[in-house]
Amino acid sequence: MNALNDSFLSGADRGVLRLITAGSVDDGKSTLIGRLLYDSKGVFADQLDAIARAKHKRVAGDGIDLSLLTDGLEAEREQGITIDVAYRYFATPSRKFIVADAPGHEQYTRNMVTGASTADAAIILIDATRAADGQLLPQTKRHSTIARLLGIRHIVVAVNKMDLVDWDRAVFERIAASYRELAGKLGLPDFHILPLSALNGDNVVHASPRTPWYAGQPLLGLLEDLEQGDDGSALPLRFPVQWVMRHDGDRAEDFRGYAGRVASGALSVGDEVLVQPSGVTARVAGLRVFDRSVPRAASGESVTVVLDRDVDVSRGDIITHAAAPAAVAREFEAEVCWLDNQPLNPARKYLLKQGTRLTSAKIRGVHTRRDIHELQEVSEARDRLEMNDIGRVSFITRESLAVDDYRDVPATGAFILIDAATHQTAAAGMLILR
């Protein structure tokens, strides 16, 4: 059994940090993840042998192309690019990690949005050779903007390929100054920045003697020390009903329960709850997990809720605490990342899926679009967003929804938009209520 499995078994009760790598094309994202896996002993010997013999490797001689540990699709290996999000798992004696390798091409920005939606931290890579004058590439700005919109708590900026600029401290300082300016414009509260070489392993797992002027930790040590993300238990209760459980209907005391997963907060027997959007109140008479009763269910746990009286509860309804309900609305604004090849068109029919509820939605207008180069919201004279655009859009839905501002409760502040004709996922949205 290799070190990866040993670490996972011995660290079964440790927290998991979910990471995503982001940046522009050829910044070295896949190579960095491969280096993390390799130097942390998270790769099987047969995997190393397979990539050493790979026909598409891009390193000279007998060297190992570590990017092939994540670029698994044939098209990715042929073209030397990442197309889809690849997930890898590794562990150290002090922490477990789930890392997503996101594509760098603007064409695949939507894939980055998908991978970033569940991340606790983002590693934004910058190619030192292409930003040596301090000018950041558009994808660096775009991915940083998306990370900010999604509320990713920790941003780590990795200035890669420092070996190709002779570990010039002045180059690193120019890039760091440019990113500080970017962070200020985006409102990023904090970020870490470090110089490294993913290809050679400098400052990835071990500190490099080539950067005596850098006093911080190498990347892995920094990741190990990041605070664990909030599991959502401290947020208001949001329990989307997924399924109505009913049996023994021929008896006077038949069973009726409401199954789902606690999206945020916690629920206990005896709590007074509110069914939204209907507004009916009841008390929790019991909580069941399979065939046993439990006194409490917290965020992330699946449970069946039994109420003290028969009320009208259906799939898509949300159970909240009566003292801390969600807002109920049919009209709202949202920050939208457009994902579809078909541009946004207010004349088209869309379906909106929020939690377990699916309803039809109409786009009332596009108010602003984010200019990635200027990092500003600009007024949009036309009701149109192209693929990978980010804009503020107003909606009206057929049915009322129980919603929260995404910044307060992401579980009920997020939704996806589906094209009713093609059934393609058209957009990912984050509600704005304040």
- Determine the Cα–Cα distance for residues 402 and 412; give it in Å rounded to an integer: 7
What is the overall mean pLDDT for the chain?
84
60 has pLDDT over 90:
no
Higher pLDDT, 328 or 63: 328
DSSP characters for 374-387?
TTEEEE-SSS---T
- Closest listed residue to residue 131, CA positions, set 20, 24, 21: 24
Cα distances (Å, whole numbers) of residue 183 to 149, 153, 390: 13, 13, 18
Within 13 Å and on the Cβ side, how many CA atoms surround 48? Answer: 12
Residue 203, beta-bridge partner list: none
382 has pLDDT over 60:
yes
Within 13 Å and on the Cβ side, how many CA atoms surround 258? Answer: 25
- Determine the Cα–Cα distance for residues 411 and 326; give it in Å rounded to an integer: 11
Higher pLDDT, 89 or 330: 330
Residue 275, beta-bridge partner list: 280, 319
C-beta separation of 432 from 335 below 8 A: yes
pLDDT winner (highest mean) among 71-85, 293-307, 362-376: 293-307
Q: In this predicted structure, what is the pLDDT of residue 229?
A: 63
Q: In this predicted structure, what is the pLDDT of residue 79?
A: 41
Please give the average per-residue pLDDT across 369-377, as a whole number.
73
Q: In this predicted structure, what is the pLDDT of residue 47?
A: 52
- Determine the Cα–Cα distance for residues 275 and 281; give it in Å rounded to an integer: 6
- Determine the Cα–Cα distance for residues 20 and 28; give it in Å rounded to an integer: 13
Q: How large a percentage of the chain has pLDDT more than 90?
A: 53
Higher pLDDT, 429 or 106: 429
Q: In this predicted structure, what is the pLDDT of residue 370?
A: 82
Whole-model pTM: value is 0.80
Burial of 13 (0-12, 13-18, 19+ CB in 10 A): exposed
> Helices in 150-276 by DSSP H: which ranges?
169-186, 219-225
- Determine the Cα–Cα distance for residues 136 and 128; give it in Å rounded to an integer: 10
> Helices in 60-137 by DSSP H: which ranges?
74-79, 109-116
Higher pLDDT, 408 or 253: 408
Q: In this predicted structure, what is the pLDDT of residue 9?
A: 43
The correct answer on CATH 1.10.3720.10 for the domain covering 16-225 is no
CATH assignment, 327-432: 2.40.30.10
Q: What is the per-residue pLDDT across 145-190, written as a single tens digit (0 to 9) for each?
A: 888 888 898 999 999 999 999 999 999 999 999 999 999 988 888 8
- Three-class DSSP category at 365: strand
Q: What is the per-residue pLDDT across 245-294, written as a single tens digit (0 to 9) for each?
A: 887 655 656 788 999 999 999 999 999 999 999 999 999 999 999 889 99
- Three-class DSSP category at 248: coil
Q: What is the per-residue pLDDT across 83-100, written as a single tens digit (0 to 9) for each?
A: 456 778 888 888 888 888
Please give the average per-residue pLDDT across 335-358, as a whole number.
93
277: cis peptide before it, omega within 30°?
Answer: yes
Q: In this predicted structure, what is the pLDDT of residue 248?
A: 65
Any idea what DSSP says for residue 66? Answer: G
Please give the average per-residue pLDDT across 328-349, as a whole number.
93
Q: What is the per-residue pLDDT across 195-227, written as a single tens digit (0 to 9) for each?
A: 999 888 999 999 999 999 999 999 999 999 988
Q: What is the per-residue pLDDT across 393-407, written as a single tens digit (0 to 9) for each?
A: 999 999 999 999 999
3.30.70.1400, 1.10.540.10, 3.40.50.2300, 2.40.30.10: CATH of 238-321: 2.40.30.10
Same fold, 16-225 and 238-321: no
353 has pLDDT over 70:
yes
Please give the average per-residue pLDDT across 362-377, as a whole number.
82
- Determine the Cα–Cα distance for residues 427 and 404; give it in Å rounded to an integer: 18
The domain segmentation of the chain, as residue ranges, is: 16-225, 238-321, 327-432
Higher pLDDT, 230 or 219: 219
Confidence of residue 74 (pLDDT cuts 50, 70, 90): very low
Q: How large a percentage of the chain has pLDDT more than 70?
A: 82
Q: In this predicted structure, what is the pLDDT of residue 107?
A: 63
Q: In this predicted structure, what is the pLDDT of residue 290?
A: 86
- Closest listed residue to residue 44, CA positions, set 88, 9, 2, 87: 2
Q: In this predicted structure, what is the pLDDT of residue 12?
A: 42
Please give the average per-residue pLDDT across 305-322, as a whole number.
94
Non-local CB neighbours of 375 within 8 Å, separated by 6+ positions = 141, 145, 182, 185, 186
